[in-house]
Structure 1
Amino acid sequence: MVRVYFNPDYTLASPMTSETIKVENLQHIADVEVADLRAAFELCQNSDLPWTELPEVRPEAVVANGTRSVAPGDVLELDGEWYLIASNDFQKI
């Protein structure tokens, strides 16, 4: 399972690195029943229907009716390890 977190501190004007992430500020928004970061990221993209409605996703109540797609600056947690979503990869925090 991959836990998905929005990062309220991230902005395009001041992108963060794995060293500047404040884990305590992250907002847990969903759990995704996959065992791979890339698969979780791809599932957490809005397409024909909101990603929060997919059967693999267990959204928190705050986003249960839909939300933005997961994007660079957000964070995924897999097996107790935290990863910043970067523009082309995942950076371990």
Structure 2
Amino acid sequence: MIRVYFNPDYTLGFPLTGEDVKIENLQHIADVDATDLREAFEICQNEDLPWVSREEVTPDPLVADGTRSVAPGDVLELDGEWFLVGPADFQRI
């Protein structure tokens, strides 16, 4: 299970590094039934249907009707470890 968090502190004008992420500011938005960060990221993309409606996803009630895709700056938690989503990879924080 991978927990998905939106990061309200991230902007494209001020990209964050792992040291800049404030865990206490993250907003938990969903749990994804996946064991791989890349797989979870791909599941969390809006395509034909909102990603929160996929069977692998248990969304928070605040986003159950739809939300933006997971993007760089957001955070995934796997087995108690936190990972910042980057433009091309994941950075452990």
TM-score by length of 1: 0.99
Task: Find the residue that maps to 2:30 and give its secondary structure.
Answer: strand
Distance between the aligned counterparts of 1:50 and 1:82, measured in 2? Answer: 24
2:90 is the alignment partner of 1:90: yes
- Report runs of 4+ in structure 1 exceeding 2 Å deviation: none
Distance between the aligned counterparts of 1:85 and 1:36, measured in 2? Answer: 13
Q: Displacement of 1:72 after TM fit?
A: 0.1
- Structure 2: which amino acid aligns with 1:26? L
2:68 is the alignment partner of 1:68: yes
TM-score by length of 2: 0.99
What is the 5 A alignment of 1:28-67?
28-67=28-67
Distance between the aligned counterparts of 1:42 and 1:36, measured in 2? Answer: 10
Sequence identity (%): 69
Deviations 1:31-73 (A, max 9, x none): 0001010000000000000000000000000000000000000
Structure 1 gap ranges (5+)? none
> Aligned residue for 1:8?
8
Task: Find the residue that maps to 1:45 and give its secondary structure.
Answer: coil
> Aligned residue for 1:22?
22
Distance between the aligned counterparts of 1:67 and 1:27, measured in 2? Answer: 13
Structure 2 gap ranges (5+)? none
> How many aligned residue pairs are there?
93
CA RMSD of aligned residues (A): 0.3
Distance between the aligned counterparts of 1:54 and 1:13, measured in 2? Answer: 31
